[in-house]
Amino acid sequence: MTAADSKKLGWMIFLAAVFVYFGALWHRPLFAPDEVRYALIPREMLQSGNFAVPTLNGLTYFEKPSPAYWLTAGMMKLLGPTPFAVRLPSALFTLLTAGAVYLLGTRADSRKTGITAALLYLCSGLVFAVGTYAVLDAPFVFCVTAATALGYIYFTEKSLLRSLFLLLAVGIFLGTGTMIKGLLAPLLTGLAMTGFLFWKKAFSKWFLALLPVLCGMALAAVPCVLFVHRHAPAFWKEFILTEHLSRAFSGQGAADDRAQPFWYYIPVFAGTFLPVLFLALPGLASVRKNWKDFFLKDDFNFFCAITLVLWFIFFSAVSAKLGTYILPLFPFAALLTARTLKGGEDLETVRKISRLFRLLLPVLGSSIVLFIIWHLLPVVPGRWKLYTPSELLPAGMTGALLLLWYGMAAKEQDIFPERKFFYFCLGTGVVMLSIHHIMPQKIVRQHNSPAFIRRAVLPRLRPGAVILADGKMASSAAWVLNRDVHVYSRPGELAPGLARAGKKAVSPQDLKKMIPDTLARGGQLVIIVNFPARLKDMPPYAGKTVTRSGRMAAVFYGENSQ
């Protein structure tokens, strides 16, 4: 392949990735609670003009620093409060991270390795899930990846002046990452670089790096820190002590508990690295005989490996665990996988990959057939089925296309990664582009509380109505109704904000007093809950009506009063 052909291929891959990732942003409605939260906070910033203190339903929300929401606020300002605008930063930063993976792989080895690693990263299940979902993990991972990649380049750099510029850039990325999700950014990059440089006995480089990196972090973070502190002096203390230290050691944040056992990430990583894991296993097998030369004598391979090992141990040791936390591992897992495949780039490696796909295909095909039969059997209760019969056709067609392209990958005998890799990525891309269109409506309804409020509450709402919602529904209600709502019963993630404001959630006892007062004024009172048992706390009154959809319910008092 000539340099011109390689450049053309790179642009084609980039455009295909943009099409797949951006094409998945608009179809599905915002899911609660995460996507609604990360849409509501930027919208409240735009409406209030206060970009220093994040608020959720009008209550201060200290889980993340305010700069984390600025880009989403900018997208909403330009494109409106749409699912596409809210998710666009995740997709953009996922593609930027793939670009960083490509550049690092190209510099360390070759353009072919860079392209392969970038594609493997984009084809990973967790990367796509987060890259098309409105959370802050994608921009955070970009900052950590860029900083860690520049740290490796610094190790290879001989010029002192260029080294200082590289370290300053490392600090700027880490400072930006700190403003997105906190001190985890410098901790991860520092852990990887310390382990690598100390193994290489490059102690002087480690000490030289410290001051420029800190200066870069200060340039990026200190103005934001002072800006937030000026408007909310208590923010950083609570953010660091509660959302960092308390969560790390106990798993408990201000309003939740994320404690999980040490082994939690072993199945999570294996499952979310699919389908790339199907290539990583043959790649590792191809270098097992010369693993010492591959890992210990190649600085880049060792750097990727020690980064993965140290980060995995760190995330496993910390008490608080969520599946998305390990996303920073994926760029380096993709780079290492690309290197293992290149390291064993011979006919034997191709045969191993083909054998694995030939084993996978009948298992995958049988699973799809059994899945369809299960949904068509009338004796199977509906609550045990994900799809309705009308939803099975597009899902089955997607499964058939996946089998077709994976079958072509298994059949193709060309040296990796040309045609075989092309078929693998094509099959994976078809599923990714289709996933939001074939997602079971049962799952969509469970997470789409805004749609329930828009359908069941909004048309029946009278001007001046008093709105109450529990902690699971309050953000969705505030998003749809475009107003703050009273928090009812269990406040959930809104509890810290209520405490800071000196307020309490409306209790069932308070509700019994509010209802007659509201009805006496001829008003309307609406309670929106996500826990059916709470309906028992709502006393009967003339004109009381209840609307339910699954676990979600809306109770109306005084709907017909004049």
Q: pLDDT tens-digit profile of 276-308?
A: 888 888 777 777 777 777 888 888 999 999 999
Prior bond of 89 cis (ω within 30°): no
Of 441, 475, 507, the residue that ends a domain is 441
The Cα-based distances of 272 to 329, 333, 341, 391 in angstroms read 11, 12, 20, 25
Q: Is the pLDDT of residue 452 over 50?
A: yes
Residues 428 and 486 in one domain: no
Name residues whose C-beta falls within 8 Å of residue 171's C-beta, 6 or more positions apart in sequence: 147, 212, 213, 214, 215, 216, 217, 218, 219, 220
Q: What would the two tokens of residue 372 be? A: 């369809």
Residues 514 and 424 in one domain: no
Is 116 part of a structural domain of the chain? Answer: yes
Q: What would the two tokens of residue 418 be? A: 């040309």
CA atoms within 13 A on the CB side of 316: 15
Q: What would the two tokens of residue 485 be? A: 């709502």
Reported as a single tens digit per residue, the pLDDT across 98-125 is: 999 999 999 888 888 888 899 999 999 9
CA–CA separation, 385 and 394 (whole Å) = 16
Residue 415 is predicted with a pLDDT of 47
Q: Which residue has the higher pLDDT, 313 or 275?
A: 313
Residue 347 is predicted with a pLDDT of 59
Q: What is the mean pLDDT of residues 225-238?
A: 90
Is 31 part of a structural domain of the chain? Answer: no
* Structural domain boundaries, residue 545: 449-557
Is 51 part of a structural domain of the chain? Answer: no
Of 407, 441, 475, the residue that ends a domain is 441
> What is the pTM assigned to this prediction?
0.91
- In single-letter form, the type of residue at position 170 comes to V
Q: What is the mean pLDDT of residues 313-325?
A: 89
Reported as a single tens digit per residue, the pLDDT across 135-163 is: 999 999 999 999 999 999 999 888 888 99
Residues 374 and 472 in one domain: no
Of 303, 325, 343, the residue that ends a domain is 343
Q: Which of 127-141, 234-248, 377-391, 416-430 is least confident? A: 416-430
Contact 181, 68 (CB under 8 A): yes
Partner residues linked to 486 by β-bridges: 468
Name residues whose C-beta falls within 8 Å of residue 20's C-beta, 6 or more positions apart in sequence: 122, 429, 432, 433
Is 44 part of a structural domain of the chain? Answer: no
Residues 385 and 402 in one domain: yes
Q: Which residue has the higher pLDDT, 391 or 349?
A: 391
Is 544 part of a structural domain of the chain? Answer: yes
Residues 150 and 295 in one domain: yes
Residues 502 and 463 in one domain: yes
The Cα-based distances of 34 to 78, 310, 473 in angstroms read 22, 29, 12
The percent of residues above 70 in pLDDT, for the chain, comes to 93
Residues 357 and 226 in one domain: no
Alpha-helical regions (H) of 200-320: 203-231, 235-240, 247-250, 265-272, 277-286, 291-296, 299-317
Average confidence score pLDDT of the chain: 86
Q: Is the pLDDT of residue 63 over 70?
A: yes
Tally of domains within the chain? 3
Burial 435-447 (b: 16+ CB within 10 A, else e): bbebbeeeeeeeb
Residues 330 and 356 in one domain: no
Q: What would the two tokens of residue 106 be? A: 């190209």
Residue 562 is predicted with a pLDDT of 46
Is 1 part of a structural domain of the chain? Answer: no
Partner residues linked to 552 by β-bridges: 549
Residues 153 and 235 in one domain: yes
Q: What would the two tokens of residue 163 be? A: 């080294």
3-state secondary structure of 440: coil
Residues 432 and 519 in one domain: no
For helices 474-481 and 449-456, the axis angle rounded to 10 degrees is: 50
Is 285 part of a structural domain of the chain? Answer: yes
Residues 490 and 427 in one domain: no
Is 25 part of a structural domain of the chain? Answer: no
Q: Which residue has the tokens 């190209």?
A: 106
Residues 357 and 323 in one domain: no
